[in-house]
């Protein structure tokens, strides 16, 4: 599954992130800016999908009429539905397209943040080894002591030896041979028992950095960003008209000929309610994992909040437009 988080999209995001950070020398702000730019880039697709969904909503009564008329003839029902879809220009697969695009972006951004975390952490440790622990400073973010570690009450402020070795192996393409050579020359890595291992020197330097910051005995965060990410995801789904109408709008009636029965509606409603909670919980889980970091949690929170705000603005604009059209019709 590594290809999901380590591909050309990941490389593209790394380049973009470094480019934005060169202009705005703050990775937290750079992530927010890049996230908004990504959301703006897919805005035309989102608007097109919403127009497509509006067509489906308008077809609701006709679809239900067809379901009743051809309840005993699924083939005829499917043919009539397709004919109706072509007539109004509705494309069933358009509803899945935004998700098919956003999921690779999500995975790629996760990989990009993991790769940058590796690069930044290795650079911090090398600077401390070369210039002394008192000459380096942890990249903090409000309550998070190290931006490149998870915002979690279980996470170390700096990775332990096992986690640091995982950084090196997982993101080897981001670490140049010269950097690996420096890690060995400072005694941070050594070959032993036929393999490469992190030495006690690394542990001492990491402990020295944390002690110099007065953070000995502390964990890296308080789960705030992961919880905010989950809350933003909940809002995005809770107030999404498409999600609210999922049970009422039969997306594929031919495959669900009884979608208008109380039992089917109840089952679809339960499924929607389950997904309403599953995704926020999943986002909290991912953002607290050792392989994640506060940078990715900030991206997820920003992306979800932007999507929620954009949805509210679009809905408000559509309501204003509808009211304006009603006034014009009434005056005529």
Comparison of pLDDT for 100 and 234, the residue scoring more = 234
For residue 38, pLDDT over 80 is answered with: yes
> Could you tell me the pLDDT band of residue 73, with boundaries at 50, 70 and 90?
confident
Number of domains in the chain: 1
- pLDDT at position 311 is 86
- pLDDT at position 1 is 54
> Could you tell me the pLDDT band of residue 152, with boundaries at 50, 70 and 90?
very high
Per the structure, the complete domain to which residue 287 belongs is given by 2-331
Model pLDDT for residues 255-269, shown as the tens digit of each residue: 333 444 444 455 455
- Can you tell me the mean pLDDT for 49-58? 78
Model pLDDT for residues 185-202, shown as the tens digit of each residue: 999 999 988 889 999 999
- Can you tell me the mean pLDDT for 199-210? 96
> Could you tell me what percent of the chain has a pLDDT over 70?
84
- pLDDT at position 212 is 96
For residue 89, pLDDT over 90 is answered with: no
Of 246, 266, 249, 238, nearest to 61 (Cα)?
Answer: 249
Comparison of pLDDT for 311 and 332, the residue scoring more = 311
> Which burial class, exposed, middle or buried, applies to 212 when counting CB atoms under 10 A from its CB (0-12, 13-18, 19+)?
middle
Comparison of pLDDT for 1 and 294, the residue scoring more = 294
- pLDDT at position 188 is 96
| 138 three-state secondary structure | coil
Query: DSSP strand E in the chain: where?
Result: 189-192, 195-198
Tally Cβ neighbours within 10 Å of residue 215: 17
Specify the range with the lowest mean pLDDT, choosing from 20-24, 73-77, 142-146. Answer: 73-77
How far is residue 268's CA from residue 277's CA, in Å, rounded to a whole number?
A: 15
Q: Are 197 and 168 in contact (CB under 8 A)?
A: no
> Could you tell me the pLDDT band of residue 328, with boundaries at 50, 70 and 90?
low
| 272 three-state secondary structure | helix
């Amino acid at each position: 599954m590594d290809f999901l988080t380590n591909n050309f999209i990941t490389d593209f995001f790394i380049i973009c992130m470094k480019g934005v950070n060169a202009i705005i020398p703050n990775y937290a702000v750079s992530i927010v800016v890049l996230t908004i730019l990504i959301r703006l880039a897919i805005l035309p697709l989102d608007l097109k999908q919403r127009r497509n969904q509006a067509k489906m909503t308008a077809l609701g009564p006709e679809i239900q009429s067809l379901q009743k008329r051809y309840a005993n003839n699924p083939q005829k029902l499917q043919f009539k539905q397709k004919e109706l879809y072509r007539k109004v220009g509705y494309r069933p697969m358009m509803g899945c397209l935004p998700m098919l695009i956003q999921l690779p972006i999500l995975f790629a951004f996760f990989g990009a943040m993991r790769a940058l975390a590796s690069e930044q952490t290795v650079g911090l440790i090398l600077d401390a080894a070369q210039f002394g622990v008192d000459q380096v400073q942890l990249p903090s973010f409000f309550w998070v002591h190290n931006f490149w570690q998870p915002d979690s009450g279980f996470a170390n402020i700096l990775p332990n030896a096992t986690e640091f070795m995982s950084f090196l192996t997982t993101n080897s393409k981001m670490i140049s041979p010269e950097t690996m050579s420096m890690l060995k020359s400072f005694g941070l890595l050594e070959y032993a028992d036929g393999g490469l291992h992190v030495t006690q020197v690394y542990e001492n330097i990491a402990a020295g950095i944390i002690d110099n910051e007065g953070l000995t005995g502390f964990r890296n965060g308080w789960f705030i960003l992961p919880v905010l990410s989950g809350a933003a995801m909940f809002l995005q789904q809770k107030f999404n008209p498409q999600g609210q109408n999922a049970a009422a709008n039969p997306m594929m009636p031919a495959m669900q000929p009884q979608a208008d029965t109380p039992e089917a509606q109840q089952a679809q409603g339960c499924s929607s309610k389950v997904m309403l909670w599953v995704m926020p919980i999943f986002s909290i889980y991912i953002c607290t994992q050792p392989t994640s970091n506060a940078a990715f949690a900030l991206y997820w929170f920003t992306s979800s909040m932007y999507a929620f705000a954009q949805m509210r603005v679009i809905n408000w604009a559509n309501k204003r437009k509808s009211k304006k059209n009603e006034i014009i019709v009434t005056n005529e």
